[in-house]
């Protein structure tokens, strides 16, 4: 029996012009843009959870999901 997938959830997102070139300038060796985004999201989640700023799923988000 195989292992469960590491990346089971998928999301599309749009970014302002120039974001990808900014990311490319700060990538570490052998790191790709997806790795960078995953790490950035994980760090922000940990930061907000530590501050107690996590919202319940029922609360509306401040960020539009266009």
Number of structural domains, the chain?
A: 1
pLDDT in the model for residue 7? 81
Mean pLDDT, contiguous 10-residue spans, the chain (66 residues): 84 96 97 96 95 68 56
Q: What is the pLDDT of residue 60?
A: 54
Residue 55 structure tokens:
């919202």
Helix axes 33-51, 19-26, angle to 10 degrees: 90
| Residue 6 domain flag | no
Q: For residue 13, give both structure tokens.
A: 């997102």
Q: Please check whether residue 25 lies inside any domain of the structure.
A: yes
What pLDDT is recorded for position 59? 57
Q: Is residue 36 part of a domain?
A: yes
Domain ranges, residue 28: 19-51
Domain-located, residue 61? no
pTM of the predicted protein model: 0.69
């Amino acid at each position: 029996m195989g292992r469960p997938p590491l990346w089971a959830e998928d999301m599309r997102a749009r970014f302002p012009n120039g974001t990808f070139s900014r990311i490319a300038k700060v990538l570490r060796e052998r790191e790709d843009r997806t790795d960078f985004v995953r790490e950035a999201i994980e760090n922000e989640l940990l930061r907000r959870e530590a501050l107690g700023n996590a919202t319940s799923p029922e609360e509306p988000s401040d960020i539009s999901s266009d």
